[in-house]
Structure 1
Amino acid sequence: MMAESKGALDGLVVLDLSRILAGPTATQLLGDFGARVIKVENPKTGGDDTRSWGPNYALNPDGTRSDLSAYFMAANRNKQSIAVDLSTPEGQDTIRKLAARADVVIENYKPGGLKKYGLDHETMLAAHPGLVYCSISGYGQTGPNRSQPGYDLMAQGFGGIMSLTGDPDGAPMKVGVGIADVMCGMYACIGILAALRHRDATGEGQHIDLALVDAQMAWLINEGTNFLTSGKEPVRRGNAHPNIVPYEAFETADGWFLLAVGNDGQFARFCDAFGLQSLAEDDAYRTNLARIENREVLIPQIAATLAKLPKAEVLRRCQDALVPAGPINTVKEALTSDQAVARETVREVPAAVKGGHVKLLANPLKLSRTPVRYDLAPPRFGQDSDAVLKMLGEDD
């Protein structure tokens, strides 16, 4: 019988001083890979802000509302929760002792906010030169905006993505989830793993300075480089693509679907499948560059043809012609689809709540040797304080 595999980060200890979404996303990933994550929560506020971000909560066994909001559970599995008041000398001493045992410290206080407690990166790294210390803030540790608070919405607005999102004639629109926070958490996890690699090779820890706004501007990707290359300001295109045509949502006789024609061969096959061969043979549309230049004339012609056909027929023809196309699922349709079931996109994790478990979105990584672990459900506030303090040899 094969022994149960350990996580890739088994043995690492992460001291998590972060809250809300960016930092917790990073530490949840590290916990998924086997690290021991100790989440420090403020007893004065009842813990992480997102514990109170309803309206959806896991229920206690007696049917009352627990402190496990759906929002909190999205980014806090595989962690232990300890209640520590950083404003007290005793709390600061506890954090220092935990840091001495930790490989990684991650925090998202305002720049300089932990210095008054002696828990800032300079102080910590001086005491523990091998420590990897990651600071996440809205605008970074430097720059004229360094002292301003950072929320996902502010990052999306400042970083440019809202100017690209939404209907061309409508208002700028944020992405429907906290994508700036989540991507910042991804960058944080990558930076921490890189710093750990360096630490293991040299013994040197380091400070990681990461900003929500910096991360958001980094994933402007092609639209960012479109501007840098051309000097032209990108514009909102709704569901359309700035560099590929046709690549957007179209309405059929009984609903919407997505068409993603990625190259000229696919366009020719699409036209053949829908009796539009004349478009494929027209020099105005034969190449993607030509289609971009003439999209305002091309798209209405395609839309008029597709609007007469049922969605199932459109999808079947596209599939037969090897042209990328697909449905626009609701969240329920996506998470209950045969594909999601086959890929175990939703995981049930044992928890001391009504029903005995909570449902969580799975980590998408499928590692063959060190699979992702789902050992710990998102913790109740302070539930592991005794266990963590015993690790330090403290009785109370």
Structure 2
Amino acid sequence: MSVMFLRDQVKLLEQNGYEVKIVCNNDFDKTYKDMELDHIPFEREINITKDVSALYKLFKYLRRESPDIIHFSTAKAGLLGMIAGFLSRVPTRIYSIWGLRLETTSGIKYRVLHTAERIACALSTHVVVISDSLEEEVVNNRIVKRDKVVRIGKGSNDGIDLEKFNPENIPSTQVETLKKELGIKPDDFVMGYIGRITKDKGSNELVEAFEALSADHPNLKLVIVGDFEESDAIKQENIDKIHENKNILLCGYTLDIHKYYRLMNLFVFPTYREGFGNVSIEAQAMGVPVVTFDVTGARDTLARGQTGIIIKNKSAAGLAEAIRHLIEHPEVLEKMAGASRKFITENFDKVYIQGELLKFYDSLGTPPDVEPEVKHT
């Protein structure tokens, strides 16, 4: 999935004289279109035998290709990539931290993940973080020293395409057809969620808050766009509610998500850990206010009180209270909706973020086919 976030960055670098090669695990269920990939069998979870095998293959790959720069993201690939890059003497080794899994773990697993992050950062030459609060988290947890940390622009992993995520560019006929298919009526208030259905994403609290609000607001609908994950499964009773409650509309995973935001009055993002939170800025770009928990990354995606609400109390009750306030004060919701797209345009425009990314790459050395005097510093 990481590759999908990187497509535009790869094109940007290639257009500016860089030769780029992409390495990831082999997943034939995904379509990468015009991107060519080299496959190394990374595993998301800890598996000593497979991890050592992947490390060896990655080391051989880097020795053969002899890159000037490597840039790895996600915890496992980052650890193996930084070790292999260090051993194969790649001069510039960038590790991107998109989030910290250790934030929602404890005990031995926490110590293992913390150690792995520290090793990856120690073997890197640069550590890219995608939000202000993530930078504070990695520095305060002694994972990396601040002088090695880089943040591109205001954050995010690639900014947002303001043409794609523009409510004016979604034909009203598409929206009306989708509403009809889902059974959404003109006077319904629609809460929306897009993402994996897991404990860490706050899916239990999402369902429980919706249940609590439904008694007083029978016209309330919950649209969920995403799939269940067994590795971090939510309560069985909440799985049953999602399947059985006629006002909870489960739409499943799709790449064509921008039109779903047009159904929503409010986007609900009750995540327990996040590096940033692209869905939050996508929603706001579509003019949809956001309610989220006060957690790393997520709090950086909105203007507190202006484009949404940040909830200190990470619970179903706290979530329900914030949503209830916006349902019962439509003038507040409308004001937030009006400010949302402007906030995203000013801070997370993909064109700006990619320009800053290119400056970062160019600062690492003389760019290919570019004279030294025009190099960004």
Common topology (TM > 0.5):
no
- TM-score normalized with structure 2 length: 0.22
Q: Which has the higher helix share?
A: 2
Task: Select the structure of larger CA radius of gyration.
Answer: 1
TM-score, length of structure 1 as denominator length: 0.21
